[in-house]
Amino acid sequence: MFFYAARRFGLALLILFVAVTVMFLMIRAVPGDPVQIMLGPRATPELQARLTAELALDQPIIKQLMIFYGNMLQGDLGIDVFSGRSVTTIVFQQLPHTLWLIFASITWSASLGIALGAYAAAHPNTAIDRAAAAVSVSFVAAPAFVVALLSLLIFAVHLQWFPAIGAGEGFWDRLNHLVLPAFAIGLSWVGYIARLVRASMLEVMGESHVRTARAFGLSERRIVLIYALRIAILPVVTVIGVGMGFLLSSAVFAEIVFARPGLGKLVIDSITTRNYPIVMGSVLISTGLFVISTALADLINAWLDPRARAAR
């Protein structure tokens, strides 16, 4: 298990390296001189030359990349053009809000989705199964921003059960502020995970080892919850790992609709003001998050499934 984990994280680092390099080159390929954009049209040539040298933009691209990596390894992602504060500080200030939102969404949607899917699979073609299917599909079909706006109108404005905007102070208040955004971006995942678990579960329930478990008189409850679910959950873990990336982009919606601080709001704000160091820093952290979550998903799978540990 240890060697598997070490190998998997080595791979994650490699993926991160490739992704960041590509992203770096892409941003450099965007037309327009970043110095001119940052300083505006009325800057003096001396000022422009100074900033160009400061950002090392006069160096060959390979050299620039090496400088970027060198700084990054020291935790330096550059300086915010407007405030002059360190990008690392700004990004890490916003990151916890987004992380909370993502974890809250995935936790409630995965637990409800798995429960719904497993229950439907244990009672296939019953009224409950059909109802669960209908609910799941409508959840999947509902776009996150519509759900966000509607839930804002209904639960925050009309019923006033939950706060409408902000992230809150202190644990309980924060949790209270999380409810609506997490509901909005998690809802379609409930349906998706429920459908996935049901299909996966039905397949596993048809396998020979389930018949063996039945032939030894094990209770149906034990067979479903321990013998089958542990196998049926494997593809779901992978999907959730990849889904973290999608949730990052859904979080952008939620953060704007609910005026929450967070990585998504930071990126949008900095793109509109062309604050490239911040964009670069936030995208780097998001990429890191994505790479880590897929690696974690693989590790959880390896922990659940001894065959995955042995292979590769």
**Using CA atoms, how far apart are residues 47 and 66, in angstroms rounded to an integer?**
25
Closest listed residue to residue 98, CA positions, set 285, 273, 238: 285
H or E element at residue 169? none
Question: Is residue 91 a contact point for other proteins (CB under 8 A)?
Answer: no
With 0-12 / 13-18 / 19 or more C-beta atoms within 10 angstroms meaning exposed / middle / buried, residue 171 is exposed
Question: Which residue, 111 or 219, is less far from other proteins as judged by CB?
Answer: 219
Stretch that binds other proteins, among 59-67, 167-175, 201-209, 247-255 (CB under 8 A): 201-209
- Which residues on neighbouring strands pair with residue 86, listed in sequence order? 79
Give the one residue of 190, 231, 239, 266 binding other proteins; rule: CB under 8 A.
Answer: 231
Least distance in angstroms from the C-beta of 137 to other proteins: 25
With 0-12 / 13-18 / 19 or more C-beta atoms within 10 angstroms meaning exposed / middle / buried, residue 15 is middle
Give the one residue of 7, 123, 209, 312 binding other proteins; rule: CB under 8 A.
Answer: 209
Contact positions with other proteins (CB under 8 A) in 122-181: none
Least distance in angstroms from the C-beta of 215 to other proteins: 5
**Using CA atoms, how far apart are residues 189 and 104, in angstroms rounded to an integer?**
12
Least distance in angstroms from the C-beta of 56 to other proteins: 52
Contact positions with other proteins (CB under 8 A) in 211-230: 211-219, 222, 226-227, 230
Least distance in angstroms from the C-beta of 24 to other proteins: 41
CA 138 to each of CA 37, 42, 231: distance values in angstroms, whole numbers, following the listed order: 45, 54, 27
Residue ranges binding other proteins (CB under 8 A): 207-209, 211-219, 222, 226-227, 230-231, 304-307, 310
